[in-house]
Chains A and B, each alone.
Chain A
Amino acid sequence: MKSNRDRTEIVVNRRFSIQFMTALAALLIATATFASPPAKIALKGGRIIPIVGEDIPVGTILIEHGKIKAVGKDVEIPYDAMVVDVTGKVVMPGMIDAHSARGLDIRNENLDVTPFLDVYDAIDPSKLYFEDALRDGITTIHAIVGHNCVIGGLSRAIHPIGITPDEMTQQPSVSLKLSVAPQNRSDRMAQLATFRETFRELAEYLDDLAETKYEESLEKKDEKIKVGPDEAKKLGKDLIKPEDYDDKHRNLVKLTGGQLGAFVYAGRAADIAAAESLAKQHGFFDQTTLVLGPRCYKAIEEIKATGRPVVLDSQLLYREENPITGKITETFIPKVYADAGVAFSLLPSGDTSLAERYLNYQAARCVRNGIARKTALEAITINPARAIGIGDRFGSIEVGKTANVVVMSGDPLDFSSWVDLVYINGIRAYERESDVRLKQLLGEEKPEIPEQVKGEKNEGAPVDPKAGHSKGDADKLEAPAPNEMTKDAEKKKE
């Protein structure tokens, strides 16, 4: 007989395993859904906002094997393409979140200097955030650690579908995160001293490694060292192979060698100079993207002079109260950057707001405050793609680019527009019709559990919506959302 205590544990375990299996089932279904997209898809009749190039009032996008094959007013649709009628809707490239730690289990390590970490290990594909990202039309997320570090880990560009970080990855090893702004741990002096210490230690390590390498090479030839240590360090430098670096230093070597991007966070205007000199001194200035806190706009001249791409904090309005008169002055931050001609990327807010969580709303705010529409739309698509270094594959609707496309019910800057469809790599990753969670919030869910349960016996296995992709109207497809399927799976278990 097992003790009560053991029993409880078993029960707990069983409950856990049921949950786990349910989650797994849902994920498997999700992958099944994404497994084999139709080879050719034509999105026909929508207004196309390609971002790069002029808008097309009524046009067609032809997607072939996950890439954009043709865009234009009169695109010949191949006989075997699946035609999706998007008449009256607006088609734009998938939006890009240039800096997000929300898909990670924890934003930052406790350690200050962690160049050996990779967000790969922290990405949690089951996070609701990814579901929300799809719902909000975000197709690329630059998964990167938070600002609370000195040197954080490696980041990567991912899309919000897939059940493993590997499947989600669009681009591994995008950049290393550095933060010149002290968070709630230390002051600026300590922050910058840590940088100096880290790079000094790197230099020492490289010297030692070179010396060791030189010694090893002599040992192989059974020779004895005839030169002093300084000379040995010089001679050994060329003997170092990439695999010789240890984990702790490998990424730093890549960074200083210009093979790795750098996302440098500056919290206040005073941090800009520090960020710039740090990047220049250690040879990664040309790969640097500045991630700027709200108050950095005061150093707009310096920022402009660096010529580096800029990612702005989600707080776009800065309020300052005159301590004497109590008068509040408002500054709309992106306007300052737009006026200075600095290319910037916008971020969605990480909090629970119903508005700023949408990148297209952030862009709408820009337009409301006098920024050109084109600039605002670029700031949520092509600019972040370029900042991440994937601008050649993502961020606009151009021939040859990856087919990450969002179909909206109206203009993206109209707050009443909804994301209707999302395609990632040519795969239909989201459709509003099947978004059960959204329907619940909007009171649109059907009272009884519909067809899915009834239809269960026909399929046995869950319905693959894409299996029905002959040439029919996409709107007729009964695509079960992951949530509904989860419910079904739960039912089965019970």
Chain B
Amino acid sequence: MKISANHQKPLCLKGLHIVQLGIAAVIAGMLTIPPVRAADNAIVLKGATVHIGNGEIIDHGVVVIRNGRITQVGANLTIPADAKVIELAGGSITPGLIDANAALEPTDVMMVDRRNARQVAADLFHGDHKGHENESVGCCGSSCPRQLQHASGAKCKQCGFPDTSPAMAVGVRRSAMSVEHSSEVIPHTRVIDSVNLRSPDFDRLAGGGVTTVFAAPDSAAVISSQGAILRTAGSLHDRVVRESGAVMASMGSDPARRGFSNNLPFREFVNFYNRRPTTRMGVAWVFRKAMYDTDRFDKGEIVYGADAPTEPAMKELRHVLAGKIPLRIQARMQHDILAALRLADEFGLEFTLIEATEAHRCLDELRDSKSPVVYGPVYVDAPGARAFSSEVDNARLHTLKELLRAGIPTALTAHELRDEDGLARQAMYARRFGVSLEDVTRCVTETPAKLLGIDDEVGTVASGKRADLILWNGEPFDGASKPVVVISGGKIVVDRRKG
């Protein structure tokens, strides 16, 4: 019997229990009362326009925070005597931003100097590279793996040159995959196991006003890992909101285009001779077979083929099929989105569409499928990261506007973009391209909170919710304003008031 030969007993016996234990542990974790602190003095934010996150706005609002929670929100509130007051005339307050598909810097790949983790992140999302028009300075000379071209004097977005040594980028690239290579179907692996909660990447996210992220799995496997929901700041014990969340699958060319082959020990890039799918058909087939095999496995039937998913994978996929573990499918191009819809239909799956670059081309289908969308980033010429694949050529600027107009619940993501390019700027773009301030605020706060199922905790400025807030020195998501103070759980984690 092939299947029992492939998979060892311990896993067989305990797999299910592990899942149950895991769920129990998560529930237990959520119920655990955080360490009792001495009653905090209240923090009062005053004088700013409060954008609740659900579309409502309070002018000259007051927000009272106590013990890490929002206790009061309103226009005319009496300010507690013990309160520490932060005045924000001319500023505004929004909920802390939530990125429903943030690609974190991987920290567990081999040979990587922590200081180059950023490069790794950039490297991960690359396909074929084309140089910038006209910029004839090869930043890394002959040693650069991609012969990067960029504006002279400017820092290379991909490898960090001249701020970083190009040699480092080379060393990084050979190992720069945060995807597990042992199979195409790896829903039993978890992003949380590779997250370094002390990575400076979290500081960058928090600096940009992002307080909660869904740590997205890599898109190089057809059915990839389970993501985690994390806070970007605060004490370690409450950084992890949910250890394992949705499983992400990828349609399109990412699993075929990127990553190493599975043929250890000769880890070469994907080609005709190894067993990665090499076409879109292949990608869809791996997905389909995984679901089909899981179904057979569930019925106690034999699963055939060397490319059958492993048993632990099928044990997770069973929950995906039953709708207990949410499914995400990353698809950029129109036909990939349609393929995702088709496959979901075939197996009766509900899913969240990720990236959806060409969503404007299949709005009706998307609306009919009732799939929510995590759209982003916004671009015409794809920036650094995912950039130079051929899947981004038909990006349009009005996609988010159209998605919202079609009534499709859509969250906005910056994915791997950080700092000034981060989520706040994506929202700024959306405003320029026709989305109202209210709608765009919802896209980065309330909607992603609902998509992730954490809207009882975060996502809006409301009494009883966790005090994750951003204080802006102007209108939010505008060119001339930025997050001045970022509060996570009632604690000031970013403070730029001094200049």
Which A residues are closer than 8 A to B by beta carbons? 101-102, 104-108, 146-148, 183-184, 265, 267, 293-294, 313-315, 317, 319, 321, 323, 326, 328, 335, 349-355, 360-361, 364-365, 367-370, 413-416, 440-444
Whether A146 pairs with B152 at a CB distance below 8 angstroms is yes
CA distance A277 to B221 in the complex (A): 58
B114 at the interface (CB under 8 A from A): yes
- In the bound complex, do residue B428 and residue A355 qualify as a contact, i.e. CB atoms below 8 Å apart? yes
Known: A148-B152, A443-B402. A352 touches B433 (CB 8 A): no
Q: In the complex the two chains form, is B419's CB within 8 Å of A355's CB?
A: no
Task: State in angstroms the CA–CA spacing of A364 and B155 once bound together.
Answer: 21
Chain B residues in contact with chain A, CB under 8 A? Answer: 114-115, 132-139, 141, 150-155, 157, 200, 203-204, 360, 378-383, 396-398, 401-402, 419-421, 425, 428-429, 431-434, 473-474, 478-482, 499
Inter-subunit contact A413/B200 (CB<8 Å): no
Please state if B360 and A146 are interface contacts (CB–CB under 8 Å).
Answer: no
- 12 other A-B residue contacts (CB within 8 Å) besides A146-B137, A335-B499, A367-B480: A108-B136, A293-B153, A321-B200, A326-B114, A349-B151, A350-B132, A352-B382, A364-B478, A365-B420, A368-B474, A368-B480, A414-B479
State whether B134 touches A442 (Cβ < 8 A).
Answer: no
Q: Which B residues lie within 8 Å of A352 (CB)? A: 132, 379-383
Q: Is the CB of B154 within 8 A of A313?
A: yes
Q: Is the CB of B153 within 8 A of A147?
A: yes
Determine the chain B residues whose CB is within 8 A of the CB of A105 once the complex forms. 134
A107 vs B114: C-alpha distance when bound (angstroms): 35
Contacting residue for A321 out of B115, B135, B433, CB 8 A: B115
Cross-chain contact of B499 among A184, A370, A414, A442 (Cβ < 8 A): A370
Contacts of A107 in B (CB 8 A): 134-137, 152
What is the bound-complex CA distance between A350 and B152, given in angstroms?
A: 10
Tell me which of A353, A369, A442 contacts B434 (CB under 8 A).
A442
**What is the interface of chain A mostly: helix, strand, loop, or mixed?**
loop
Contacts of B141 in A (CB 8 A): 184
The verdict on A314 contacting B154 (CB below 8 Å), with A323-B115, A415-B431 known, is: yes
Contacts of B138 in A (CB 8 A): 184
Selected from B132, B137, B419, B432, the residue in CB contact (under 8 A) with A351 is B132
Q: State which of B114, B429, B480 has its C-beta within 8 Å of the C-beta of A413.
A: B480
Q: Is the CB of B473 within 8 A of A368?
A: yes
Q: Are B420 and A317 in contact (CB under 8 A)?
A: yes
Q: Which residue on B lies nearest to A320, using beta carbons? A: B163
The binding surface of chain B is classed by DSSP as loop
Interface centre among A354, A416, A441, A444 (most CB of B within 10 A): A354
Q: List 20 A-B contacts (CB under 8 A).
A: A107-B134, A107-B136, A148-B137, A313-B153, A314-B154, A315-B155, A317-B420, A319-B419, A328-B203, A328-B204, A349-B154, A354-B380, A413-B479, A413-B480, A415-B431, A415-B479, A440-B396, A441-B380, A441-B396, A443-B360
B421 — which chain A residues lie within 8 A by C-beta?
Answer: 353
**Are the C-beta atoms of B157 and A441 separated by less than 8 Å?**
no
- A142 to B429 Cα, complex, angstroms: 28
Give min CB distance, A426 to chain B, whole Å. 29
Contacts of B154 in A (CB 8 A): 313-315, 349-351
Contact A350 B135 (CB under 8 A): yes
Given the known A-B contacts A355-B425, A416-B431, are A101 and B200 also in contact in the complex, defined by CB atoms under 8 Å? no
- Of listed A104, A315, A368, residue having the most chain B CB within 10 A: A368
Chain B residue, CB-CB nearest to A124: B134
Residue of B at shortest CB range from A326? B200
> Cα distance A414–B437 when bound, in Å?
13
- Which residues of A sit under 8 angstroms from B433, Cβ to Cβ? 442
C-alpha spacing A472/B7, complex, angstroms: 81
Contacting residues, chain B, for A416 (C-beta < 8 A)? 431-432, 478
Residue from the list A104, A148, A313, A355 in contact with B429, Cβ < 8 A:
A355
Rounded to whole Å, the gap between the CB of B497 and the closest CB of chain A is: 11
A148 to B151, CA, bound (A): 10
A317 to B422: give the CA distance in the assembly, Å. Answer: 14
